[in-house]
Amino acid sequence: MTEKSTKRPLRILCLHGYRQNGSTFREKTGAFRKLLKKQVEFEFMTSPLEVPPLESADDKDGGSGWWFSRPDDYFRAQDESDCVKGFEESLGAVETAFKEKGPFDGILGFSQGGAMLGLICGLQQQGKLSYSFKFAIFVSAFKSRSLPHQHLYAEKITLPTLHVFGETDQVIEKPMSEEHLQYFHDPEILMHPGGHFIQLLERRKQFMLSSLKK
């Protein structure tokens, strides 16, 4: 009599984009989660940094971010800055998520969360993390231009990685995501014709499954 497979789903910690939180990012990834529901268990966390609401916004909740590129709690992906306000606090929150909700097999990061994930990968590559993970998935990610982060790109990251980005992304333009690839050894790439979101159609399912198996 053959034993039933006891293989558990992969567990992935998800890092939201700027001006999002764990709940809003979860809502935006419904189709993606449905696609992989038998293979993956997703955990969505919220960063500890509150972003000031936009003056023009009716909603007074500005969402959250992973660090600020200016001391007045502002972030722009293109900013070359000495400021990384809140970064250490966010690193601590990810460490706490691993301690309290982990372990996790991998991490998925979207937009600024993807940039944060790249920095966490750099810390792991340099042996500076108290926890570990086996793979990373980047969606609309980019290299941080903040000067205090540059040492985390010094070693090429050998962790298996998948990089998803859109040809028509107007927020994090395709060249920014392509620039990020050079810091990873043998990155796997999934490019789609869309914009600044996770676009994984049914026809991409086998690609995703084969990437996760690797």
What is the tens place of the pLDDT at every residue in 2-28?
A: 344 457 889 999 999 999 999 999 988
What's residue 4's pLDDT? 43
What's residue 60's pLDDT? 58
Q: Residue 140 falls within a domain, yes or no?
A: yes
Looking at per-residue pLDDT, the higher value among 141 and 206 belongs to 141
Q: Residue 194 falls within a domain, yes or no?
A: yes
What is the tens place of the pLDDT at every residue in 123-169?
A: 999 999 999 999 999 988 899 999 999 999 999 999 999 998 876 66
Those residues whose C-beta lies under 8 Å from the C-beta of residue 95, and which sit 6 or more positions away, are 129, 130, 131
Q: Residue 56 falls within a domain, yes or no?
A: no
Domain span holding position 169: 16-50+63-213
Among the ranges given (94-98, 124-128, 143-147, 200-204), the one the predictor scored with the smallest mean pLDDT: 200-204
What's residue 37's pLDDT? 83
Whether 169 is catalytic: yes
What is the tally of structural domains in the chain? 1
What's residue 210's pLDDT? 66
Which amino acid is residue 88, in one-letter code?
E
Q: Which of 69, 90, 111, 146 is catalytic?
A: 111
Say if residue 122 is exposed, middle or buried (CB neighbours under 10 Å; 0-12, 13-18, 19+): buried
Whether 64 is catalytic: no
- Return the CATH number at 171: 3.40.50.1820
Q: Which of 16, 47, 169, 177 is catalytic?
A: 169
Residue 104 has pLDDT above 80, yes or no: yes
Q: Residue 200 falls within a domain, yes or no?
A: yes
How far, CA to CA in Å, does 74 sit from each of 51, 179, 200?
Answer: 8, 23, 31
Whether 56 is catalytic: no
Q: Residue 21 falls within a domain, yes or no?
A: yes
Q: Residue 4 falls within a domain, yes or no?
A: no
What is the tens place of the pLDDT at every residue in 167-186?
A: 666 666 667 777 888 999 99
What's residue 202's pLDDT? 45
Q: Residue 121 falls within a domain, yes or no?
A: yes
Q: Residue 11 falls within a domain, yes or no?
A: no
Do 34 and 6 form a contact (C-beta atoms < 8 A)?
no
What is the tens place of the pLDDT at every residue in 32-75?
A: 788 788 889 999 999 999 999 876 655 556 799 999 999 999 99
What's residue 205's pLDDT? 55
pLDDT averaged over every residue in the chain: 85
